[in-house]
Amino acid sequence: MRVFFALFTYFLPVDIRPAKWLHDLSAPSHAENTKSRKEKQRSQKSEFTQCIKKKHLRSILHLWDTNPNSNALATEIKLTKKCWPALWPRGAIMTSISGAAAFSLTSRSFTASDSYTWYCLLVVASFFMWIRLKKCTQNTLICIMDNFQIKFLQSMPYRIISRGFGQLGDINIWPFFRPHLYKFFVCIWKIDMKEAVDEDLENYRTVNDLFRRPIKRQLRPIHSTADVVSPVDGKVMQSGEASQGVVEQVKGMTYSLKNFLGPLKEQDGTDNLPLHKYARSLMHNPRKNSLFCCVIYLAPGNYHRFHSPAEWRMEHRRHFVGDLLSVNPRIACIMPGLLVINERVVLTGKWKYGFFSMTAVGATSVGSIVIYDDKALQTNKANVERGTYFDHKYENGGVLFSRGDSVGEFRLGSTVVLVFEAPKKFNLKLREGQSVKYGQAVSFPVQ
C-alpha cells in the first residue's frame, strides 16, 4: 500500500499533496511570518516556472518555424525527442501501472476487487498526469496532440456529411411526427419559437424549414442612428481593428485577410503583397481610415438568416471552395486558420467610408449558403477542388442594400465576418463574448 500511496501522490498537484495537509495541521496558528515567507517562495517559484515555460515555448516555436509543414512527421519526432527528458519518468510509471492493471485481469492470484483497484488507480493517475501537462499549456506533447487533432479533423469527409445532412433536412416530415421531432431540436438547441412568425411546429414541412424560420420583425428593431448594425443573432468572437492585415481567430491565433478575402481583383491571382500593404490596398483612403473587423458566431439554435449591416452596394461575389469543419469556438481554439480553411462566400462592395465586405462562412451541416440576389451561386458542390474560388461581378453597378435588408441564409450554426473601412476614430461597441441580436448597434457615426 505504501507503493500505491507514493505513486498516487506523485501525480497530485503540489498544493494538495497529503504531506502538505499534515504540515498545515501541525503548523502553529500564529505563523503569519511563515505564511508570508511561503507566499514569497511560491511567487519566486512561479516566476522561475514562467521563465522556464517561456524559454521552452521559444525553443518550440523556433523548431516549428525551421521545419516546413511538408515534413510534419519529422518535426513531431524532433519535438518528442526534445521533450523526452521531462516526459519519460511519468511515462514509465504510467506504463507500469497499465501493465499491472492488465496483469491483474489475467492472473488468478488477483481478485476482482484488486482489478477494480488497479483500474481506479490508473484512471486517477492518468487524470492528474493530464492536469500536470495541461498546466504548461505550451508543452510539446500538447502541441503534438493538437497537431494530430488537426490532421484528424481535416481528414474527415465533412463535405459529403454536410450534403447528406442537407438531403435529410429537405425530407418532408409527416404532419403527425413533426411536433414530436421538432420539440427535440427545440429542446436540444434552445430555440425560442415565440420569436418565430409561425409558432406552430406542425406547419414546418422539413427540418431545414425549421432552421430557416423567419422571425417577427418587431422583435428585432433596426437601430435608427447606428452606422453599422449586427447582421445576425449570435455571439461576438472578435471585434476590433485589422489594419495590419491580420484578424485574431482566438487569443494568440490569427489568420490573414489576404488568405481570407483572396487576391485583389485587379491583380488576377498574382497577389504577393505583404499583409499590411494588402490591407492598405483594400482601403479607398488609407491615410485617414483603417480596416475594422467583426466576427459573429451563430449557434444552431440562433436565427439563421443574415441581413445587411449597413447602407452599402454589393458589387462582387467570390465563392471559395473549402472544408466544412465546425466553427464552434471549441474547434476554433485548436484549428489554426479555421475560417480560411472553410467554404465561404465573400461579398464585397462600397459604403460611405470606402471598402465594405460581408462573408458567410460554411460549417459542418451548413453546406448550403444562399444569397437571395444571386441565383447562380451553388455551394458545397461535388467534384470541385478545395482551395479554388469563383468570381462573379454583379451587373448594373451592383445591389444596393439598406440597414436590415435580407441578404441570405444558411442552416444550423455558422459564422458571419464583417471587414470594412472606416475613420481611425471609429469605435466598435461590441466586445468579445457578447451576445448580439440582429439590428443591434455595432457602431455610431463618427463625430
Given the residues 104, 239, 290, 307, the one annotated as active site? 307
- Give me the count of residues in the chain: 447
d(C-alpha 376, C-alpha 370), whole Å = 10
Asked if 307 is an active-site residue, the reply is: yes
Given the residues 233, 304, 323, 374, the one annotated as active site? 233
Asked if 107 is an active-site residue, the reply is: no
The burial of 82, by beta-carbon neighbours within 10 Å (0-12 exposed, 13-18 middle, 19 or more buried), is given as middle
Task: Please state the three-class secondary structure of the chain as a single string.
Answer: CHHHHHHHHHHCCHHHCHHHHHHHHHCCCCCHHHHHHHHHHHHHHHHHHHHHHHHHHHHHHHHHHHCCHHHHHHHHHHHHHHHHHHHHHHHHHHHHHHHHHHHHHHCCCCCHHHHHHHHHHHHHHHHHHHHHHHHCCCCHHHHHHHHHHHHHHHHCCHHHHHHHHHHHHCCCCCCCCHHHHHHHHHHHHCCCHHHECCCCHHHCCCHHHHHCCCECHHHCCCCCCCCEECCCCEEEEEEEECCCCEEEEECCEEEEHHHHHCCCHHHCCCCCCCHHHHHHHHCCCCCCEEEEEEEEEECCCCCCEEECCCCEEEEEEEEECCECCCCCHHHHCCCCCHHHHECEEEEEEEECCEEEEEEEECCCCCCCEEECCCCCCCCCCCCCCCCCEEEEECCCCCEEECCCCEEEEECCCEEEEEEEEEECCCCECCCCCCEECCCCEEECCCC
Given the residues 104, 290, 365, 414, the one annotated as active site? 414
Asked if 414 is an active-site residue, the reply is: yes
d(C-alpha 214, C-alpha 198), whole Å = 8
Give the torsion through C-alpha atoms of 417, 243, 250, 84, to 10 deg. Answer: 140
Q: From edge to edge, which strands make up the β-sheet containing 406-410?
A: 305-307, 406-410, 369-371
Looking up cell 498574382 gives: 270
Active site members: 233, 307, 414
